[in-house]
């Protein structure tokens, strides 16, 4: 196991900067998820740690040792690729044995480790098969196995579940979570899937356009997004975000939402430029609660919850205004005018640059 440090890392491809001055530390044994949209640089970061890409500037350290100039074989990291990259001409056993043969392990030790990994991942009956004879889920497990047998100091996983269907993905996600408990090896896990990030990461690093946006525990990210990007990227549907409209009368403040005014319990932060509210914080009003009336544009009844999209986009920073209602509330229909009570304790405030000012996100 090892700690990992990216220190002011820059990566350019020609004139295009993919990673911009990124600093990030991962503790020994920590499981960190790199989350971000396609093209944000997260896979490039992983590949630089693996030694598959050179750095344009900065340093990468493994256990305090700078590894910039070391080739992939010298770094003792193992990687699970998005397309698994199993060697097609080798059986599962030979695939698992390959990294061990490269390290000149004795045959007895090789067999022992292969058996242990096969038992852990349920690959026992597949050892003599070639990758072409395996299902997607089985290939994925073999790829994990090939990483595990190495007993590397760091695991790198590059969207390892993205080629699987939704059901299998959920199943293997649970298996990976169990493995994580057993192995306790430092792991960098790249994904664009927020469910994977929330369920697997001890910490999640959100990236966009080559920059680190926020590094925090999953719930912290959700409840206290550092900026508008994180607020919009995390959560499905994303946080509703409006440009702040305020009116003040003596020391009473009112916030404009969807063209209507809602009294605030106290003064908003002075620099507030944007305000956000999670869909679950727009609830059917209790008697006497401040409310707004908005017209329903579309309803998605998902069984365990209902998503309601509203037609009124006045003041919205991005996207449509959406509410998430629990099952049991009387269903609205398209075209209905419904009343919503914004949970004012759950407001998120952001400044003109989109940086978080205040709000604890509880809802």
Partner 1 sequence: MNGRPILPMIATYLVLLAVTLVFFGPVLFMLVGSLKPDELVLAEAASWRGWVPESVSLENYRSVFERVPFGSYLASSLVINGTIVGLGLVVNAFAGYALARLQWWGREAMLAVVLAILVIPFEAIAIPLFYQLSALGWRDDHLVQAIPFVANPLAIYLFYSFFLGLPKALEEAARIDGAGVFRTFVAIVIPNSRAAFASVAIVTFLFHWGIYLWPLLMTTSESVRPLPLGIATFYTLPPLAWGDILAFGVLMVLPVLVVFVVFQRWFVAGVAATGIKG
**55 interacts with partner 1 by CB under 8 A:** no
**79 interacts with partner 1 by CB under 8 A:** yes
**68 interacts with partner 1 by CB under 8 A:** no
What's the min distance (Å) between Cβ of 81 and partner 1?
A: 5
Nearest residue (CB) to partner 1, 152 versus 268: 152
Stretch that binds partner 1, among 37-45, 50-58, 107-115, 331-339 (CB under 8 A): 50-58
Among 66, 102, 248, 331, binds partner 1 (CB under 8 A): 102
Stretch that binds partner 1, among 71-79, 160-168, 249-257, 298-306 (CB under 8 A): 71-79
Among 23, 83, 171, 327, binds partner 1 (CB under 8 A): 83
Among 89, 184, 352, 362, binds partner 1 (CB under 8 A): 89
Window 110-149: contact mask with partner 1 (x via CB under 8 A): ------------------------------------x---
Nearest-angstrom CA–CA distance, 180 and 138: 19
Alpha carbon of 94 to those of 89, 108, 116, 360: distances in Å? Answer: 9, 14, 15, 52
Among 51, 218, 235, 256, binds partner 1 (CB under 8 A): 51
What's the min distance (Å) between Cβ of 222 and partner 1?
A: 33
Q: Which helix (H) or strand (E) holds 111?
A: helix 107-121
What's the min distance (Å) between Cβ of 72 and partner 1?
A: 4
Nearest-angstrom CA–CA distance, 257 and 354: 18
**103 interacts with partner 1 by CB under 8 A:** yes
Nearest-angstrom CA–CA distance, 150 and 158: 17
| Residue 271 near residue 350, CB atoms below 8 Å | no
Residues in contact with partner 1, counted by CB under 8 A, come to a total of 22
Tokens of 39: 């093209």
Q: 10 - beta bridge partners?
A: 57
Nearest-angstrom CA–CA distance, 146 and 88: 14
* The length of the chain, given as a count of residues: 363
What's the min distance (Å) between Cβ of 18 and partner 1?
A: 17
Nearest-angstrom CA–CA distance, 243 and 316: 6
Spell out the residues 6+ positions from residue 14 whose beta carbon is closer than 8 angstroms to its own.
none
| Residue 338 near residue 299, CB atoms below 8 Å | no
Among 30, 42, 45, 99, binds partner 1 (CB under 8 A): 99
Stretch that binds partner 1, among 9-17, 83-91, 261-269, 273-281 (CB under 8 A): 83-91
What's the min distance (Å) between Cβ of 243 and partner 1?
A: 45
What's the min distance (Å) between Cβ of 181 and partner 1?
A: 24
Tokens of 96: 């698992």
Stretch that binds partner 1, among 96-104, 267-275, 310-318, 334-342 (CB under 8 A): 96-104
Tell me 144's DSSP state.
H
Among 87, 122, 252, 259, binds partner 1 (CB under 8 A): 87
Nearest-angstrom CA–CA distance, 190 and 193: 9
Spell out the residues 6+ positions from residue 58 whose beta carbon is closer than 8 angstroms to its own.
6, 7, 8, 9, 10, 21, 22
User: Cis peptide leading into 182, omega within 30 of 0?
Assistant: no
**72 interacts with partner 1 by CB under 8 A:** yes
Residues that bind partner 1 (CB under 8 A): 50-52, 71-73, 77-79, 81-83, 85, 87-89, 98-99, 102-103, 146, 150
């Amino acid at each position: 196991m090892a700690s990992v440090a990216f220190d002011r890392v820059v990566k350019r491809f020609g004139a295009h900067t993919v990673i911009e001055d990124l600093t990030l530390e991962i503790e020994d044994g920590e499981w960190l998820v790199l989350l971000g949209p396609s093209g944000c640089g997260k896979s490039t970061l992983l590949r630089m740690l693996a030694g598959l890409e050179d750095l344009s500037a900065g340093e990468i350290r493994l256990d305090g040792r700078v590894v910039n100039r070391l080739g992939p074989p010298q770094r003792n990291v193992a990687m699970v690729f998005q397309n698994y990259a199993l060697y097609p001409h080798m059986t599962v056993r030979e695939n698992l044995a390959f990294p061990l043969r490269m390290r000149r392990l004795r045959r007895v030790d090789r067999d022992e480790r292969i058996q242990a990994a096969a038992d852990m991942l349920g690959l026992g009956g597949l050892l003599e098969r070639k990758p072409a004879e395996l299902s997607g889920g089985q290939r994925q497990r073999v790829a994990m196995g090939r990483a595990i047998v190495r007993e590397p100091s760091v695991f790198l996983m590059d969207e390892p579940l993205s080629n699987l269907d939704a059901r299998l993905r959920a199943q293997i996600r649970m298996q990976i979570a169990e493995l994580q408990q057993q192995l306790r090896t430092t792991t960098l896990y790249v994904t664009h899937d927020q469910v994977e990030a929330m369920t697997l990461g001890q910490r999640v690093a959100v990236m966009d356009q080559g920059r680190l946006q926020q590094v925090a525990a999953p719930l912290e990210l959700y409840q206290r997004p550092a900026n508008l990007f994180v607020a919009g990227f995390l959560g499905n549907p994303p946080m509703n975000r409006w440009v702040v409209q305020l009116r003040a009368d003596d020391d009473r403040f009112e916030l404009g939402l969807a063209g209507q005014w809602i009294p605030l319990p106290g003064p908003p932060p002075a620099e507030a430029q944007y305000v956000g509210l999670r869909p679950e914080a727009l609830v059917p009003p209790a008697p006497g609660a401040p409310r707004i009336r908005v017209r329903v544009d579309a309803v998605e009844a998902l069984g365990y919850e209902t998503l309601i999209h509203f037609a009124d986009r006045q003041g919205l920073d991005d996207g449509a205004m959406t509410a998430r209602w629990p099952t049991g509330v009387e269903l609205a229909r398209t075209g209905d005018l419904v009343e919503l009570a914004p949970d004012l304790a759950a407001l998120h405030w952001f400044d003109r640059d989109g940086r978080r000012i205040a709000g604890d996100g509880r809802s």
